[in-house]
Amino acid sequence: MKASSSKRSPWVYGALILMLAALILFSALPLVASIWQRSGAAAPSGPTQLESQAAGYQLVLEREPNNQTALLGLLETRLQQGDLKSALIPLERLAQLEPEQTRYALLLAETKAHLQDYSGAAALYRTLLAKDPFSLAALKGLGKLYLTQDRPQEAVALMQTAITGAIQRQTRTPSPEGSAQVTSLQLLLGEIYLDQNRITEALAVYETAQQVNPEDFRPVLAQAMVFEQQGNLQQAAPLFQKAQKMAPPQYQDTIQQLRRQSSDN
């Protein structure tokens, strides 16, 4: 049965899966989660006032180039102005001053990607992955970058390599955290397949993830969302119910809302 045109796209479903369970970006990197909303939103102050704020921060930085309060203030002001190119200057400095704070490097990479500096963004993501090959945020960012450049097979290979490495590490040193990370990586791979409308392969990934980690509700929820998007409510409904029972309390209300949306369609 074909999905109706009113249903959400597969990409939206992939994003929802990650937002619900992996907490990949939004808990660890609040700036990245809000940068485009801030840059695209109406500024709370007039342009003259914002430029005056920026000038004030720049005066401070002329005297104290490493003043992080001024750097952050200038970054926020440039985002309110929607001037991502100028935002690169304080952001690059913050990334240099705080190399252990990966959020700055990630935000810098995402900003470069948005400005179509794909090689610069890719270099930053690869540097982060050299330090942590299983960084979910960096893998997601680099995978998205490949998709933007119409290089889907490289995005798939990136995630498959990461999954293989994570499974090997989990085999050597089992832990609940390692198991959850393997599942998160599989969800990222499923998201890439969904972006390409490769539904059968996405479902196969979720089925494998469910078998590998049967206590994790996320693969079950992912399958439910895909079936619902396809219009296959008979298969989606019991999976939504199962995922809700398996999920921690903080996710159950959201899953209940998704179940209601599914039954209303």
pLDDT tens track, the chain, 265 positions = 434 333 444 444 444 444 433 433 333 343 444 444 444 444 455 668 889 999 999 999 999 999 999 999 999 899 888 898 999 999 999 999 998 888 899 999 999 999 999 999 999 999 999 999 999 999 999 999 999 999 999 999 999 999 999 999 999 999 999 998 999 999 999 989 988 989 999 999 999 999 999 999 989 998 998 898 888 989 999 999 999 999 889 888 888 887 777 666 6
Q: What is the pLDDT of residue 265?
A: 60
Whole-number Å distance between alpha carbons of 154 and 122 = 12
Q: 136, 185 in Cβ contact below 8 A? A: yes
Whole-number Å distance between alpha carbons of 96 and 92 = 6
Q: What is the pLDDT of residue 25?
A: 37
With CA atoms as reference, report the closest residue to 189 among 169, 204, 167, 168: 204
With CA atoms as reference, report the closest residue to 138 among 115, 161, 107: 107
Q: What is the pLDDT of residue 46?
A: 64
SS3 category, 154:
helix
Q: Domain locations in the chain?
A: 10-41+98-264
Give the distance from CA 237 to its chain's centroid.
Answer: 27
Q: What is the pLDDT of residue 262?
A: 64
Instruction: Please tell me the CATH superfamily of domain 10-41+98-264, with its number.
Output: Tetratricopeptide repeat domain (1.25.40.10)
How many angstroms separate the Cα of 198 from the Cα of each of 10, 187, 189, 257, 265? 10, 14, 11, 26, 23
Residues in CB range of 187: below 8 A, 6 or more apart = 14, 17, 18, 21, 22, 206, 209, 218, 219, 222
Q: What is the pLDDT of residue 144?
A: 93
Whole-number Å distance between alpha carbons of 216 and 152 = 27
Q: What share of the chain is helix, strand, coil (3-state, %, to 5)?
A: 80, 0, 20
Whole-number Å distance between alpha carbons of 249 and 265 = 25
